[in-house]
Structure 1
Amino acid sequence: MSKHAASAAELPGAYERLGIRIQKIINSPTAQKSRAALIFRLPDEQEDDWNQLLEEIAENDNVTLAYRDDGGVQIFWTVPKED
């Protein structure tokens, strides 16, 4: 494998970049404290990628998505108590 091909393979794709961006928002101290995050799709992000990510987030237990009129999605979650 050439040096160019190796570096190209390491770059995250559009979906991965979207996931990283949303993960940073969700993991921010403010979001973690309130157990909520407000996210928006950026103009350069594909709608299919956005919808796939929202579906994957919604599959998690204790997570609720609220779709807003302004296009944003509010994510709420609860942390289950340990036994």
Structure 2
Amino acid sequence: MSVQENAVRIEELTSLERLGLRVSAMINSPVAQLGRKVLIHRLDTDSDQDWEAIMELLSETDGLGMTFRDDGAVILQWDLPTDDDRVIDRGEDVALVEPAQEEAPF
């Protein structure tokens, strides 16, 4: 894909998709991943409808804490996944890893 084709594709994104990509990039940044915390800030160009849709989506995510600040920003925090939370991706099939069950030694 050429640079021009890429630019055209970016222009085709809806405002909600652009906001989603920006929030995703903030969450996936190395600093946020290391600290398991990120400040999501709202831009003047973000519509109320798009912002509320993203906040609702985030609020439905298990294990994600949200702190709403007075300035309109949101702090997201999450815990390090445990072994019980680990997921194995097998292409289209996703299976939770079950903890090993050991037999009693007697």
Q: TM-score w.r.t. structure 1 length?
A: 0.83
Q: Deviations over 1:15-64 (max 9, x none)?
A: 00000001000000000001011011100110111011011011011001
Which residue number corresponds to residue 15 of structure 2?
14
% identity of equivalent residues:
39
Total equivalences in the alignment: 76
Which residue number corresponds to residue 4 of structure 1?
none
Which residue number corresponds to residue 29 of structure 2?
28
Residue 76 of structure 2 corresponds to residue 75 of structure 1: yes
Q: How does 1:31-50 map to 2 (within 5 A)?
A: 31-50=32-51
CA distance in 2, matches of 1:55, 1:40: 15
Larger radius of gyration: 2
CA distance in 2, matches of 1:18, 1:65: 17
Q: Which runs of 4+ in 1 moved over 2 A?
A: none
Which residue number corresponds to residue 3 of structure 1?
none
Structure 1 unmatched ranges of 5 or more: 1-6
Structure 2 unmatched ranges of 5 or more: 1-7, 85-106
Residue 51 of structure 2 corresponds to residue 53 of structure 1: no
Looking at both structures, which has the greater relative contact order when contacts are Cα pairs under 8 Å and sequence separation is at least 6? Answer: 1
Q: TM-score w.r.t. structure 2 length?
A: 0.66
